[in-house]
Structure 1
Amino acid sequence: MDDTDRHLLSLLRANARESAALLARKLELARTTVVARIARLERDGVIAGYGVRLGQQLEQAAVRAYCGLSVAPRMGAGVVRALERLPEVEEVSAVSGQYDYMVLLHCETNEQLDALLDRIGLIEGIRKTHTSVVLSRKVDRRSAVAPPER
């Protein structure tokens, strides 16, 4: 991957539905070159798929929380499989420190979050949870689009 690939990826992360022609203009490349680069990135597994990012109105109304999980020995795989089945679970990361996993949760209401935490607490193998509700985001670079440095 070169700087152009990284810039292309940042543009696609900001808007995966951007036309190849517009991407080409932004990258100052031929449209066919952009199409070929995207195909290569997909083939190489750099681009694993495309998704939907919620609009600001829904995103701001959402309730997000980080939940730290302590898991019984040799129960991690089962806990992760159970978490994968919960649509409100956005991300599960194995971490060092006080907890074994940090889980990012996304709910529509506080009541939905409360019920979700009850369900998570009942998953076999979870010994302890600790949840922090996100009050506001101060930095979010997931949609930042910066041109490559030249």
Structure 2
Amino acid sequence: MPDDLDRRILALLRSDARLPTAKIAAQLGVARTTVHARITKMEREGTIAGYSVVLGDANSENIVQVVILLEVQQKETARIIKRLEGYPEIRLCLSINGEFDLLLSAEAPRIEDLDVLVDELGAIPGVLRTNTSVVFGRRIDR
């Protein structure tokens, strides 16, 4: 279980996974060896499962993003999720509680492409209904 120092280290690594341990240590007011030991421990315990590269998109201002909520028949959920994996526009699929069962984030260069996507998703057997919202902007993006 991460303590306060671990959480502060993780927050810095989330914003820049390549941040040197010396800079993390300086920002947090602790020894570099302490930061190194904490990171090593969190990697060993699985708190830090890996590091990744976030690619920039030169045309990101031309990308349209939508959030799609799906209500599905429970017995069809696994099959539907497998089918969703085939849509490259879908960037994220979350299982949620409440009125809807799945939350999708999808992106495409044109709103018309997403309109076609939503129509196709609604036609998947076991999808009972959809609700789509266009994303106007990202306010917090970690």
- Common fold: TM-score over 0.5: yes
Tell me, yes or no, if structure 1 residue 28 matches structure 2 residue 39: no
TM-score when normalising by structure 1: 0.76
Mapped partners of 1:119, 1:49: distance in 2: 34
Shift of 1:83: 2.3
Q: Unpaired runs of 5+ in structure 1?
A: 144-150
Count of aligned residue pairs for this structure pair: 141
The 1:9–1:131 alpha-carbon spacing in structure 2 relative to 1, beyond 3 Å, is same
Question: Any residues of structure 2 matched to 1:92-103 within 5 Å, and which?
Answer: 92-103=93-104
Q: Which has the higher contact order (CA 8 A, sep 6+)?
A: 1
Shift of 1:13: 0.8
Question: Any residues of structure 2 matched to 1:1-150 within 5 Å, and which?
Answer: 1-55=2-56, 58-137=59-138, 139-140=139-140, 142-143=141-142
Task: Give structure 1 regions of 4+ aligned residues with deviation exceeding 6 angstroms.
Answer: none
TM-score when normalising by structure 2: 0.80
Shift of 1:104: 1.6
Mapped partners of 1:122, 1:52: distance in 2: 35
- Superposition CA RMSD, Å: 2.4
Mapped partners of 2:20, 2:59: distance in 1: 25
Once the two structures are superposed, what CA deviation does each residue of 1:82-141 show, in whole Å capped at 9, x if it has no partner?
22343432322222332111112233332332343344334442222121111223x31x
Structure 2 SS opposite 1:33:
helix
